[in-house]
Each structure stands twice: as C-alpha cells, then as structure tokens.
C-alpha cells in the first residue's frame, strides 16, 4: 500500500519502520518501510492480513487515512554508515521469505543506488504469495526464487540455494 507521508518519505533510511493506527480504537501496528519516494512524499508498506486491524487496513481506499502514521522509527541498517567503496568489494547476499521480503527490498535498492551489487534469494510457500519480484529484479545482482511447493522458481527452501552458492563458489 502506498501512503502519502511526506515527513517519513523525506527522512527514512533502509531498515527503519513506522507505526500505523487505523482509528482511535485500533491497535498500533509496526510496519517496515518497504519503499519510499522522496519527491512524491510517499512510503510503501507491506502487510499480511492476520487480524482485525490489518483486515481494516486492507479495506482502505484512495483518499482514506490512518489515525496515526508515525515514523521513521528504529535504527537504519548498519551498512548505511559504512564506507561505500569497501562495500563495493564485498560479496553480499540477502535472504528473504514471504512478507519478510519487504524489509530486504529497501536495503537492496539503497545498495543498487550506490553502485553496490547484492544478490538476493526470495522464498515463498507458493507463487501466488511471492511479493516484490519485479522490484527486486530491478535492483538485485542475481535474483534466486524458491517456492516450497515448486509452483515457481526452484522447488525447495532458500537454504538449498545458499548451500549451492557456498558449495559452487
């Protein structure tokens, strides 16, 4: 979901999160800042519908709003403060699964924007719940996809790809 949140979009860094609250009775839901557009003042959040609050969030339409949308919170990813030239000489692999792909994407995007190659493995139970594949293709070095049921990419777990990469490198 893309949300207008100019302050958050202008100041967030990879690895940070926000807290969303749908209304005065709703619970506070911590969500990763999956993406941001500083020029448009928007942030993208990804969530899985698990309870009443996320169900209500999924029902929001253009023009609706959150009672509270607070952030950025937390500490940015460590590499944001590392020497970029040193990072360019490292072999970096991100591993993500399911909605856990959301916090990985902004980190890989940041690296790509700074000329740092990073490979990514994304896993999901099945193709129909795989997220951010196209976005990841645009910023990852090599992208590996696994599905538990074999409906897309390689059948198996992300650890199978890690084992192959370690064994064959």
What is the model's pLDDT at position 15?
Answer: 95
Q: What is the CA radius of gyration of the chain?
A: 17
Contacts of 167 (CB under 8 A, 6+ apart): none
Q: Which two tokens stand for residue 55?
A: 């169900």
What is the model's pLDDT at position 166?
Answer: 86
Residue 140 has pLDDT above 90, yes or no: yes
Q: Which residues make beta-bridge pairs with 2?
A: 44
Provide, for the chain, the percentages of residues in helix, strand and coil under a 3-state DSSP scheme, each rounded to the nearest 5: 35, 25, 40
Model confidence pLDDT, tens digit, residues 17-74: 999 999 998 899 999 999 999 999 999 999 989 888 999 999 999 999 999 999 999 9
Q: What is the pTM of this model?
A: 0.89
Model confidence pLDDT, tens digit, residues 89-109: 999 999 999 889 999 999 999
Residue 121 has pLDDT above 70, yes or no: yes
Q: Nearest-CA neighbor of 71 among 20, 133, 144, 135?
A: 20
């Amino acid at each position: 979901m893309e949300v207008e949140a100019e302050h958050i979009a202008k100041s967030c860094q990879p690895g940070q999160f926000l807290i969303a609250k749908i209304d005065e009775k709703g619970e506070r839901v911590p969500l990763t800042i999956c993406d941001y557009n500083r020029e448009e003042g928007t942030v993208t959040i990804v969530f899985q519908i698990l309870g009443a609050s996320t169900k209500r969030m999924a029902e929001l339409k253009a023009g609706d709003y959150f009672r509270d949308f607070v952030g950025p919170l937390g500490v940015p990813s460590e590499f944001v403060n590392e020497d970029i030239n040193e990072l360019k000489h490292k072999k970096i692999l991100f591993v993500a699964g399911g909605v856990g792909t959301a916090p990985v994407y902004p980190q890989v995007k940041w690296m790509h924007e700074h000329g740092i190659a990073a490979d990514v493995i994304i896993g999901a139970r099945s193709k129909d719940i795989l997220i951010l594949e196209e976005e990841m293709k645009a910023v990852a070095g090599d992208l590996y996809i696994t599905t538990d049921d074999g409906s897309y990419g390689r059948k198996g777990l992300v650890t199978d790809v890690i084992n192959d990469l370690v064994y064959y490198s």
